[in-house]
Amino acid sequence: MRFDVITLFPEFIGQATSIGVVGRARERGLVELATWNPRDHAEGGYRKVDERPFGGGPGMVMLDAPLSRTLAAARRAGEGGAEARLVYLSPQGARLTQRRIEALASEPRLILFCGRYEGVDQRFIDREVDEELSIGDYVLSGGELAAAVVIDAVARLLDGALGNAESAARDSFGDGLLDCPHYTRPERIGDDEVPAVLLSGDHGAIARWRRREQLGRTWLRRPDLLARVALDAGDRALLDEYRREWLARARPERRQPPSGGRRG
Ligand code: ADE
């Protein structure tokens, strides 16, 4: 899969994508990445990429012309540039979810556009942008961190990017639920022991325990997610078991789960 990133800070994107899973995916040719700096497509001695906003107010607005030329150059490079979706990272965008990441991972090529300054001339956005995405309800000083988030989350879904193909499916959100807890050596730390079932060698029981923990954690921490997952009779039984044990264990003042415990 190919990413073209339009950014005034190409070094940031280069660094953020050169380590870990994404770095390995790039080395192995699963991910191809190119950056495009609007400053290289700006005119005049100052290579101006921004201007004061019409109507006044603080901050600067990114100019349409250098952005349009940068985008044209990105689209001309390599295969499939003309059809590639242009994603603009901005706090005004739709909230990024794992579902959206899965859809983006099925594209052969994406162009990610990172805004800076107070904003971007709306006419560029209206004319060129296919999709506006936000990584959360807070304001970053630019879209680069958000673009790095998209690249990381997409790259790890690509075939062969993770060592163990199973682990992406078992991640949080892979099936709409949070992940279960994980343990490794030693078996005991002070009074804390690893749940006995994980040492039992009984793969059926381990799978059942993990599913129960996923359901229970999601119920406790993210009931909004649980409400959107279709639970079969087996899941409902596991969740009931988890709830009963949780309520029996919880101190009286904590007996109300944080959410009020909406049923899935
Ligand atoms: N650019 C600035 N803030 C952002 C956010 N929250 N998400 C995506 N891009 C951004």
Q: Which domain CATH number covers 194?
A: 1.10.1270.20
Of all residues in the chain, what percent carry a pLDDT higher than 90? 88
Q: How many domains does the chain have?
A: 2
Mutate-to-test residue for ligand 1 from 140, 144, 150, 151, highest number of ligand atoms within 8 A of CB: 140
Contact 2, 108 (CB under 8 A): yes
- 203 occurs within a structural domain: yes
Q: Which domain CATH number covers 143?
A: 3.40.1280.10
Task: Report residues whose beta carbon is within 6 angstroms of any ligand 1 atom.
Answer: 89-91, 134-136, 138-140, 143, 146
- Structural domain that includes position 245: 188-254
∠ Cα 5 94 96 (to 5°): 65
Q: How far is the CA of 112 from the centre of ligand 1 (A)?
A: 12
User: Are 110 and 217 members of one domain?
Assistant: no
pTM, two decimals, is 0.91
Structure token pair of residue 81: 């540039």
User: Are 28 and 130 members of one domain?
Assistant: yes
Q: How many residues does the chain have?
A: 264
Mutate-to-test residue for ligand 1 from 139, 144, 152, highest number of ligand atoms within 8 A of CB: 139
Q: How far is the CA of 72 from the centre of ligand 1 (A)?
A: 24
- 103 occurs within a structural domain: yes
User: Are 26 and 139 members of one domain?
Assistant: yes
- 242 occurs within a structural domain: yes
Query: Which phi and psi angles does 203 have, rounded to 5°?
Result: -65, -35
Task: State the greatest distance between any 2 C-alpha atoms of the chain, in Å, as a whole number.
Answer: 72
Q: For residues 85 and 111, give the distance between their C-alpha atoms in angstroms, rounded to a whole number.
A: 6
User: Are 33 and 82 members of one domain?
Assistant: yes
Q: For residues 140 and 116, give the distance between their C-alpha atoms in angstroms, rounded to a whole number.
A: 9
User: Are 123 and 65 members of one domain?
Assistant: yes
User: Are 231 and 136 members of one domain?
Assistant: no
Contact 81, 75 (CB under 8 A): yes
pLDDT digits (tens, 9 = 90+) for 119-139: 999 999 999 999 999 999 999
DSSP string, 76-117: HSSTTTTTPEEEEEEEEEEEP-HHHHHHHHTSSEEEEEE--S
Query: Comparing C-alpha atoms, which of 221, 162, 232 is closest to residue 22?
Result: 162
- 167 occurs within a structural domain: no
pLDDT digits (tens, 9 = 90+) for 178-187: 999 999 999 9
Q: Catalytic pick from 109, 156, 212, 222? A: 156
- 151 occurs within a structural domain: yes
SS3 at position 239: helix
Contact 157, 173 (CB under 8 A): no
- 205 occurs within a structural domain: yes
- Residue having the nearest C-alpha atom to atom 10 of ligand 1: 90
Give rounded-to-5 percent helix, strand, coil for the chain: 40, 15, 40
User: Are 16 and 142 members of one domain?
Assistant: yes
Which ligand 1 atom sits closest to the C-alpha of 141?
2
Buried b (16+ CB within 10 A) or exposed e, 32-48: ebbbbbbeebbeeeeee
Q: For residues 213 and 81, give the distance between their C-alpha atoms in angstroms, rounded to a whole number.
A: 44
Q: How far is the CA of 5 from the centre of ligand 1 (A)?
A: 15
- 42 occurs within a structural domain: yes
Q: Catalytic pick from 171, 208, 221, 243? A: 171
User: Are 121 and 226 members of one domain?
Assistant: no
User: Are 140 and 249 members of one domain?
Assistant: no
Instruction: Measure CA 136 to chain center.
Output: 10
Average pLDDT, the chain: 94
Mutate-to-test residue for ligand 1 from 118, 135, 151, highest number of ligand atoms within 8 A of CB: 135
Q: How many CB atoms lie within 10 A of CB 170?
A: 14
Please tell me the least confidently modeled range out of 46-50, 170-174, 217-221, 238-242: 170-174
Please give the pLDDT value at position 2: 98
Query: Comparing C-alpha atoms, which of 236, 246, 194 is closest to residue 215?
Result: 236
- 211 occurs within a structural domain: yes
pLDDT digits (tens, 9 = 90+) for 55-105: 999 999 999 999 999 999 999 999 999 999 999 999 999 999 999 999 999
User: Are 231 and 115 members of one domain?
Assistant: no
Task: Decide which of 155, 174, 204 is a domain's last residue.
Answer: 155
